[in-house]
């Protein structure tokens, strides 16, 4: 990271700090120099930070102001060419940088650590697999308890409780439970709406193990058998997801990967109803690089973990999305989730 002509890189992104040091706290600054690294945090993590990060970074604890502490530490060995994470730093923090190293010219950088995080090692892949397994178990417990008349909030509470009881560290994003016509909202906010007989019920949820995220979506019919229109739409999404999972490969561009599913949906006449990208990277954040998108021209590297989540959304009627997590190994795509996506009718 310092091979770009910088004497120091200041890392403020907490996921990046965790990736580089193992520190899991909510407050910290990481200064990386050619021959050392300094992690500054506050008194809340006086015991935790050394335990998690002391093998890779010098840990400094400050009772009052971590910026002041970092300034004092950096003053021990002045640097001439510092850099910062431009995609993370706020305007207020940019002002702090000028006071941190007087007379230095700070250079903006972007996604240096994120590029390292693109490729997952064995432990990272296994953490995502474990998170997916945990999520699947929570869903299996929740589905039999869902009945017409329950509110979306009630369904979300059942699912989130099952996730936590099975050991999910937290919810990587707000759980989406969307029923009936609201299932046509790709990122619906869970509401008080009651699920009616025959409704679609879309559940988009995540789990987290050792900091790593899984992201899953299933769409079911509640309180009745699926009708012909529901079977048709579901079948198209299922075919699109199956083709993408089977044929996606490392080395493809994000655009090429996206087209695997998009072409199926467009051929069936629903191209305009698939308005988001096929997928995104998974790791310490639920949305990270790479992107599987019509605008993504970069090749997807070997070792990336991505979601595959095609959907069809018909406003006023409802929508279907199916999402699984895939490791793009050198030997081909490896499912990390169970891909149990047969159409379920909860009657």
pLDDT at 265 over 90: yes
Distance CA 291, CA 149 (A): 38
Provide the 10 A C-beta neighbour count for residue 61: 17
Contact 152, 183 (CB under 8 A): no
pLDDT at residue 4, as a whole number:
61
**Is the per-residue pLDDT at 249 higher than 70?**
yes
Beta strands in 3-120 (DSSP E): 8-11, 29-33, 37-42, 58-62, 82-85, 107-109
Residue 46 and residue 324: Cα distance in Å, rounded? 39
* CATH code, residues 122-346: 3.90.230.10
What is residue 75's predicted lDDT score, i.e. its pLDDT?
A: 85
Q: Which of 82, 107, 77 is nearest to 7 (CA)?
A: 82
What's the whole-model pTM score?
0.94
DSSP string covering 179-225, please?
A: EGGGGGSTTPPP-SPBPPTTEEEEEEEEEEETTEEEEEEEEEEESS-
CATH for 8-117 is: 3.40.350.10
Helix (H, G, I), strand (E, B) or coil at 23: coil
Q: What is the pLDDT of residue 307?
A: 98
DSSP for residue 253: B
Closest by CA to 8, choosing from 55, 70, 62, is 70
Rounded Cα gap, residues 129 and 123, in angstroms: 10
Q: State phi, psi for 116 to the nearest 5 degrees.
A: -70, -35
Domain ranges in the chain?
8-117, 122-346
On the question of pLDDT at 6 being above 90, the answer is no
Backbone φ, ψ for residue 192 (5° rounding): -85, 0
Is the pLDDT reported for residue 78 higher than 90?
Answer: no
What pLDDT, on the 0 to 100 scale, is given for residue 77? 74
Distance of CA 281 to the CA centre of its chain: 7
CA dist 197 → 201, 221, 240 (Å) = 10, 8, 27
Q: What is the pLDDT of residue 34?
A: 87
Widest distance between CA atoms in the chain: 72
Report the distance separating Cα 118 and Cα 298, nearest Å: 12
Span 157-207, pLDDT tens digits: 999 999 999 999 999 999 999 999 999 999 999 999 999 999 999 999 999
pLDDT of residue 219 exceeding 80:
yes
- β strands within the chain, DSSP E: 8-11, 29-33, 37-42, 58-62, 82-85, 107-109, 176-179, 199-209, 212-222, 279-281, 288-292, 305-308, 311-314, 318-321, 324-329, 332-335, 345-346
* Mean of the per-residue pLDDT values of the chain: 96
């Amino acid at each position: 990271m310092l091979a770009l002509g910088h004497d120091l890189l200041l890392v403020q992104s907490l996921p990046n700090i965790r990736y580089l040091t193992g520190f899991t706290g909510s407050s910290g600054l990481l200064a990386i120099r050619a021959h050392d690294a300094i992690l500054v945090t506050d008194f809340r993590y006086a015991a935790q930070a050394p335990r998690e990060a002391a093998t890779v970074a010098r840990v400094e604890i400050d009772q009052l102001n971590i910026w002041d502490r970092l300034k004092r530490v950096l003053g021990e060995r002045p640097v001439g060419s510092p850099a910062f994470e431009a995609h993370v730093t706020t305007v207020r923090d940019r002002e702090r940088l000028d006071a941190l190293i007087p007379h230095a010219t700070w250079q903006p950088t972007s996604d240096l650590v994120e590029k390292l995080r693109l490729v997952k090692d064995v432990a990272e892949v296994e953490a995502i697999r474990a998170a997916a397994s945990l999520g699947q178990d929570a869903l299996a417990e929740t589905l039999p308890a869902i009945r017409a008349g329950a509110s979306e909030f009630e369904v979300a509470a059942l699912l989130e409780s099952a996730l936590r009881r099975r050991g999910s560290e937290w919810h990587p994003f707000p759980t989406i439970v969307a029923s009936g016509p609201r299932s046509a909202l790709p990122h619906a906010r869970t509401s008080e709406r009651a699920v009616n007989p025959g409704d679609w019920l879309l559940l988009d949820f995540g789990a987290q193990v050792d900091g790593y995220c899984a992201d899953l979506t299933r769409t079911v019919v509640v309180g009745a058998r699926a009708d012909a229109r529901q079977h048709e739409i579901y079948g198209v999404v299922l075919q699109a997801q199956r083709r993408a999972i089977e044929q996606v490969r490392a080395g493809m561009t994000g655009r090429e990967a996206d087209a695997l599913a998009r072409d199926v949906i467009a051929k069936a006449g629903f191209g305009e109803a698939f308005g988001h990208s096929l997928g995104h990277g998974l790791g310490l954040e639920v949305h990270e690089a790479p992107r599987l998108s019509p605008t993504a021209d970069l090749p997807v590297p070997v070792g990336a973990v991505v979601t595959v989540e095609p959907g069809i959304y018909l406003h006023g009627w409802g929508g279907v999305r199916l999402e699984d997590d895939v490791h793009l190994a050198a030997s081909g795509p490896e499912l990390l989730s169970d891909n149990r996506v047969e159409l379920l009718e909860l009657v």
